[in-house]
Structure 1
Amino acid sequence: MSLRKTDLNLLVILDALLDEAHVSRAAQRINLSQPATSAALERCRQLFDDPLLIRSRGGMILTPKADRLHHRLKQVLVELEDVLESRDEDLQRIEQTLRLSMSDAYVASLGPKLAAYLGATAPGVNLVFLPWVGPGAALEQLVKGQVDLAISQFPQVQSSISRRELAHEDYRIILRKDHPALARFDLDTWLALPHLIMSGRGETRTGLDLLLEGMGRKRRVAMVVPSFNLALPLLQQTELVSMLPVHGVPRELFAEFELLPPPVDMPGYTVHLAWHRRLDGDRVTGHVADFIAGECFPLDAAGTG
């Protein structure tokens, strides 16, 4: 027997039939016509490969198998009703863990706000921030159920993914305040510098490299790091230069860096919050997603207001 092919409404009807041992009374109890109830009984007989109810001199009686099913079925229906009613459970009492995927810069910005908000509104909700592995891999994690919410640029998603626009993100060239290249910063100077890129998957090329190739130019990627938290100290202490989204520099570090518009036409992108549609009705996921979209953006970072 496959649960996927089973109409769960049959179990509700069967529960009434086993309680009443009478088709007409069961039909009246569940507000169903007698012919529809009789048809449902026939389907249940096929489902369980048993007559379930048989006629006797005093009416209908339960078969031994039906008698064994009776109590277990009632327990299952009670538990299922509890599951369905949990949608209205008080957020103060819910205990649940959400897994999130986003860059470490977003974690640093959103983490304190989420901790304070959930501590006040849903103290039993725990958050697990997973290592950032890029937008493509994040979408795969959503589909596989390994991640509940993800923040990144998701310009195209499959039909099973829901998403909300959060903000527009621009790129800036980031280098330390006393960098010698600032004396004459132009395209040639920029491309001659050693470049640092941030990639959670260790990639050595980005969309910028494709853009430069189209111009007949190239750069040298001297270093790749997996997080913003590693990128910024390196930019601060070396002659490395990097093109990063503006949210990567917290406001408290503005005094340490110059943030310049790229000397090439590098378009920004839309930041999305994404989740799998299987979670569309999940109260905790919706609670956290609404807070992120409504209260956490735009971020308090360079160029984001």
Structure 2
Amino acid sequence: MNDLRRIDLNLLVILDALLSEQHVTRAAERLHLSQPAVSHALARLRDLLGDPLLVRAGAGLVPTPRALELLAPLAEALAQVQALLAPNAFDPATTQRTFRLAMSDYGAAIVLPELIRTLRREAPGIDLQISHGSRESMLDGVLNGDIDVAIGVFPEMPNELRSTPLFEEHYACLLDRKSLPVDGALDLPTYLARPHVLLEMRGSGTPEIERALTALRERRRVAVSLPHWRVAPEFISGTDLILTVASRALRDIDESTLIVVPPPFQIPSFTFVLVWHKRRGGDQALNWLNQRIGEGIERQRLF
């Protein structure tokens, strides 16, 4: 440990130049140092390693057996230090890595198809592990490092996390066409009188809808509560049920039997965001992935 404390990494760089040039003046020119500075460094190296390292032979210097033994490990050590201190180079075409993403099945339907096509085309060595949970559990996963990126709606964000918006979203109501009032409009009394399908993920629910109704001093009756929206439209066809969800979840419905209409009361729109930990700001691969997610959303023309 005492010897390690005496080591100046610059001495290793100078030793490498001396062993390569076998001449003090040429080593000094190569390093842009003065000749006395290199001579002083050589004296320190001889003292540190207990060996002459370079001995005079004619007009130049020749390495000792001990110096020759140091050539390979010295080159390896300097290469490792250089790699450690150099910016982390990222090549998507050759990188082998797994990213852990958390999102709802709604988020997965919006984000993953385009993202996966991009990865297969540009970064075939990058794999994805997708999980889902409540808003709180997804943010906790990013905070503790279990999750690389969370995608969703997060009204409250811890200071340690960073986010970027992906798109603005609003709510819409899905009904069976035959259950729509004769005038073609859904009014508030009808909305409140009808049974509803609630999308709820581990207790998170859809608080924006409930808060909007509470502001009106109204409540709705939930007849079916379920954790994923993919099957929810199937419950609506042929019934008097109403499903109130993010509008983009209703892009591929069967319009011959179902219809999408605006809610009969004001529900604030919300921002769908991508979240990561600020300590990951220097991760080039993660930054690349986040950028590709955003570009995929833009290509879908969701704005």
Instruction: Return the TM-score normalized by structure 1.
Output: 0.71
Q: Distance in 1 between matches of 2:113 and 2:92?
A: 19
Q: Which residue of 1 is the match for residue 244 of structure 2?
A: 243
Does 1:290 find its partner at 2:291? yes
Q: Which residue of 2 is the match for residue 139 of structure 1?
A: 139
Offset at residue 203 of structure 1 (A): 4.2
Q: Distance in 1 between matches of 2:226 and 2:172?
A: 18
Offset at residue 159 of structure 1 (A): 3.0
Question: Does the CA contact (< 8 Å) of 1:100 and 1:129 recur in 2?
Answer: yes
Offset at residue 190 of structure 1 (A): 0.5
Q: Which residue of 2 is the match for residue 127 of structure 1?
A: 128
Give the SS at the match of 1:87: coil
C-alpha distance 54-123 of structure 1, shift in aligned 2 (>3 A): same
Offset at residue 192 of structure 1 (A): 1.4
Q: Distance in 1 between matches of 2:80 and 2:174?
A: 56
Question: Does the CA contact (< 8 Å) of 1:204 and 1:224 recur in 2?
Answer: no
Q: Which residue of 1 is the match for residue 192 of structure 2?
A: 191
Equivalent residues in 2 for 1:1-305, closer than 5 Å = 12=9, 78-79=79-80, 81-82=82-83, 87-131=88-132, 133-181=133-181, 185-203=186-204, 206-236=207-237, 238-251=239-252, 253-297=254-298, 299=300, 304=302
1:113-156 Cα offsets, whole Å, 9 max, x none, are 1222112211111112212x233322211111121122222344
**Letter of the 2:179 counterpart:** H
Question: Does the CA contact (< 8 Å) of 1:204 and 1:221 recur in 2?
Answer: no
Q: Distance in 2 between matches of 1:109 and 1:205?
A: 18
C-alpha distance 157-202 of structure 1, shift in aligned 2 (>3 A): closer
1:225-280 Cα offsets, whole Å, 9 max, x none, are 11121322223354321211112123364554322211111110122111112222
Offset at residue 189 of structure 1 (A): 0.9
Question: Does the CA contact (< 8 Å) of 2:210 and 2:219 recur in 1?
Answer: yes
**Letter of the 1:216 counterpart:** R
Question: Does the CA contact (< 8 Å) of 2:233 and 2:243 recur in 1?
Answer: no
Offset at residue 97 of structure 1 (A): 0.9
1:155-190 Cα offsets, whole Å, 9 max, x none, are 442332221122111111122223255666311110
C-alpha distance 141-73 of structure 1, shift in aligned 2 (>3 A): farther
Q: Distance in 1 between matches of 2:33 and 2:241?
A: 75
Give the SS at the match of 1:297: helix
Q: Which residue of 2 is the match for residue 64 of structure 1?
A: none
Q: Distance in 1 between matches of 2:205 and 2:253?
A: 29
1:170-224 Cα offsets, whole Å, 9 max, x none, are 1111222232556663111101111112122144562322332232211112222
**Letter of the 2:221 counterpart:** R
Question: Does the CA contact (< 8 Å) of 2:88 and 2:284 recur in 1?
Answer: yes
Question: Does the CA contact (< 8 Å) of 2:195 and 2:242 recur in 1?
Answer: yes
Offset at residue 109 of structure 1 (A): 3.2
Offset at residue 92 of structure 1 (A): 0.9
Give the SS at the match of 1:91: coil
C-alpha distance 292-237 of structure 1, shift in aligned 2 (>3 A): farther
Give the SS at the match of 2:142: helix
Higher Cα Rg, which structure = 2
Gaps of 5+ in 1: 2-6, 21-25, 39-50, 59-69
Gaps of 5+ in 2: 19-26, 41-46, 55-70
Q: Distance in 1 between matches of 2:167 and 2:284?
A: 24
Q: Which residue of 2 is the match for residue 4 of structure 1?
A: none
How many corresponding residue pairs? 280
C-alpha distance 261-52 of structure 1, shift in aligned 2 (>3 A): farther
Deviates further, 209-218 or 178-187: 178-187
Offset at residue 28 of structure 1 (A): 11
Deviates further, 291-300 or 258-267: 291-300
Give the SS at the match of 2:241: coil
Deviates further, 148-157 or 203-212: 203-212
Q: Distance in 2 between matches of 1:166 and 1:258?
A: 26
C-alpha distance 285-257 of structure 1, shift in aligned 2 (>3 A): farther
Percent of matched pairs sharing the same residue: 27
Q: Which residue of 2 is the match for residue 62 of structure 1?
A: none
Q: Distance in 2 between matches of 1:140 and 1:256?
A: 41
